[in-house]
Structure 1
């Protein structure tokens, strides 16, 4: 049985770790990941750099990984509601479900650009597309698969369709953020993608 003192210490360590991750994420969202250094983080949370390294011995990459994992958890939560609801045989039900999924994904990426970068662009200490991929990372993809499985007319190959849908939505995020797509036609792009998936 854990002693009260040990439990308190564990709680304090977790709170401190959470504070470090929160500060890194806030700084990245405000100023970009280039602004996130261990020195600036230590100053922001008023801890010494050795304390910071005590929680994250692998430094910035481990902190970016912690932010990415938070992001994956939040993305999965944002996508989960798209699997809910009974369309009652409504012919437009599939379109609404996929549109809800696509919109939720794009909204998440728009609201949290630095977190999205941590999840998909920056080096992190997580293996993707393997048996070692953490459940929290798989959860977002599983939410996409679940949405497709709950369609009145689901695709014949749900996993592959989910990969293509995820790739397409990620492409919309990346190309829009890079200025390769104009903002004016985003809704048309969404509708085209939804129609391609729902047939």
Structure 2
């Protein structure tokens, strides 16, 4: 291994450590607790080393968001591939999405609520975000119905799931009705 390859590997390892530590701290204490000073202390590197990888908290949030989007896409694909039939796939997608949001609140916020400096729904949208949307559309496209653009339907279904995830996390919806909400969204929106 060349010196250059070793340095690149070490740099990538430090970046993964920074992102993992930021994510862990955010999941435990919220994003307000994630500061470059606290991250530097936790990873036992100086703040200048941290800044040599990320220009600040915004870029770290963006890195967490990209990692989380890849995980969300994988969770949705795993859930839908195990389901039998269109209705079961859409229901599995909804459950996987809501479960991801509930299990990873800080990551979910990084993807959808916080400013990580990422472009959405644009040409320069990073590939992990495009892939997360594609994972939704792979299943939801078949549930759009005649004459409805699959991308538009996916946006509307996604918005419904995002609303459920956000309101549930805020304690605005009774948890005992979660399954009925999923069934209602699937029954009312999906044409199966």
- Map 1:66-145 onto structure 2 (within 5 A): 66-84=63-81, 87=84, 93-145=85-137
Aligned to 1:47: 45
CA distance, structure 1, for counterparts of residue 83 and residue 90 of structure 2: 14
Give SS of 1:43's match.
helix
Conserved 8 A contact 2:22-2:39:
yes
* Structure 1 outlier segments of 4+, above 6 Å: none
Q: What is the TM-score when the length of structure 1 is the normalising length?
A: 0.90
Please tell me the root mean square deviation across aligned C-alpha atoms, in Å. 1.5
Within the candidate set 124, 137, 145, 1:155 is matched to 145
1:22 aligns with 2:20: yes
Aligned length: 189
| TM superposition shift of 1:124 | 1.2
Runs of 5+ unmatched residues, structure 1: 88-92
- Write the deviation string for residues 124-150 of structure 1: whole angstroms up to 9, x where unpaired: 11111111111110111111111124x
Aligned to 1:36: 34
Q: What is the TM-score when the length of structure 2 is the normalising length?
A: 0.93
CA distance, structure 1, for counterparts of residue 33 and residue 131 of structure 2: 30
CA distance, structure 2, for counterparts of residue 86 and residue 12 of structure 1: 41
